[in-house]
Amino acid sequence: MAKLSCIALTILLFNNLILSQAIYGSSSTVLQLTPDNFNSKVLNSNEVVLVEFFAPRCGHCEVLTPIWEKAATVLKGVVTVAALDADAHKSLAHEYGIRGFPTIKAFSPGKPPVDYQGARDLKAITEFAIQQVYYFDIGNISSTSTITIAITTVTIIQSLRRVEQWALGVCKDPKIKCISTTLPKIFTVHGLWPSNKGQSQPSVCSHEVLNQADIKILTPMLTIPWPSVTTTMNNNQFWKHEWRKHGTCSTFQKIDYFQHGVNLWARENITAILEQAGITPGKSYDQTRIITAINAKTGSDPELVCVAAGNYLAEIRLCLDPSTATTYMVCPTSINKKPSCQPMVAFAA
């Protein structure tokens, strides 16, 4: 009997080991954590680490596995995607208050971990990860750039418009040829557009060309928050276009222009703001409800832009005080065009 019990225990331990290894194999792009490497790979890391606490026999964990693998590939070089077998390492899991599986936490250098409570899909997870990167890097815009803005743009630039687009609405315009792959289901950056009294939207203020090498360090971080959604331009061409048309009219350096655009995207997440106000795709809403929801978070009324056919919401624009480039303001009358949205706005799904 004792021998049989020993054999049964051996089989059980072996099965548990196989189950644990089956979730993330040795060739996985997901960093596998243990108590031995947790400090060096997570707590002492110089970058954001996204950790999944899983259990081998957890059905939800198995469903998440292929998504987590894809997230590790998409975020490579930007965020470390890792996993810890919380069943095998109970004391470490207990230290972080893990009570259910899977539990996802973001660890940023010098900050307490942040729980992820969103949808378990690739878009939502990668968006959350990139937000954590930019919350961590929010102070990295150089002070000299800020000083330049304060000194030179306040008398020249009347406002700086933060423009974000809803691809599913933009692509309702029959004149626009959109990519055939899955369109983003989040608001993404269109650009930062300087405006002034003499010319509401100046463009191509210099012939300073943007080369891919100029923003190479940011490229992995731009693909999700600032993608091209049309077939006429790939991502690099889109970024080059935005810099040439609008960036050259600002006093941002090239890399600061793009970093600041994404910093704003992460700081006030338009998609999340609307969702928290009960405004979700697939329905029509009174435009005042959308404006009120965004004003509650930014202190400023946005400008809504719609596709004429169907009155689909295409863009949301917010004006920033050029002396800070971070404080929202009422858009000056001189740059407000005739409203393009009817009272009831369709939010395309």
Q: Is the dihedral of CA 165, 166, 169, 175 positive or negative?
A: positive
Contact 305, 340 (CB under 8 A): yes
Helix axis angle, 254-267 to 122-136, nearest 10°: 120
How large a percentage of the chain has pLDDT more than 90?
Answer: 62
Name the DSSP class of 334.
Answer: G
Please tell me the predicted confidence (pLDDT) of residue 62.
94
Give residue 334's pLDDT: 53
The active-site residue, picked from 69, 89, 246, 315, is 246
**What are the tens digits of pLDDT across the range 240-296?**
999 999 999 988 999 999 999 998 998 899 999 999 999 999 999 999 999 999 999
Q: Cα angle at 100 between 99 and 105, to 5 degrees?
A: 85
Find out whether the peptide bond into 102 is cis, omega within 30 degrees of 0.
yes
> Reduced to 3 states, what is the DSSP secondary structure of residue 344?
strand
246 is catalytic: yes
Tokens for 33, please give them: 């954590």
Task: Map tokens 């360090």 to a residue.
Answer: 217
CATH of 159-347, one of 2.60.40.420, 3.40.50.11540, 3.90.730.10, 3.40.50.300: 3.90.730.10
In this prediction, residue 17 has a pLDDT band, given cuts at 50, 70 and 90, of: very low
198 pLDDT higher than 80: no
Please determine, for residue 9, whether its predicted confidence score (pLDDT) is greater than 80.
no
* Cα–Cα distance measured from residue 128 to residue 203, given in angstroms and rounded to the nearest whole number: 33
In this structure, which amino acid lies at residue 130?
I
Q: Given pLDDT bands bounded at 50, 70 and 90, which one contains residue 13?
A: very low
> 57-96: per-residue pLDDT in tens?
899 999 999 999 988 887 777 789 999 999 999 999 999 9
What's the confidence (pLDDT) of residue 130?
A: 81
CATH of domain 31-137: 3.40.30.10
The percentage of the chain sitting over the pLDDT mark of 70, rounded to a whole number, equals 84
Which one has a higher pLDDT value, 38 or 202?
Answer: 38
242 catalytic, yes or no?
A: yes
pTM: 0.64
**Residue 10's pLDDT band (boundaries 50, 70, 90)?**
very low
Place of tokens 């993404």: 188
Catalytic position from the list 52, 164, 242, 303: 242
**CA distances from residue 262 to 125, 161, 200 in whole angstroms, order as listed:** 17, 13, 23
**Is the separation of the CB atoms in 51 and 83 below 8 Å?**
yes
Domain ranges of the chain: 31-137, 159-347
Q: Cis before residue 184, ω within 30 degrees of 0?
A: no
Q: Which of 190, 260, 303, 315 does the annotation list as catalytic?
A: 190
Residues 11-41: b if buried by 16+ CB within 10 A, e if exposed: eeeeeeeebbeebbeeebebbbbeeeebeeb
pLDDT digit string (tens) for 104-159?
Answer: 999 999 899 999 999 999 878 887 888 787 666 543 333 333 323 322 333 357 88
260 is catalytic: no
For residue 140, the Cα-to-chain-centroid distance in whole angstroms is 17
- Mean pLDDT on 11-29: 59
Helix, strand, or coil (residue 305):
strand
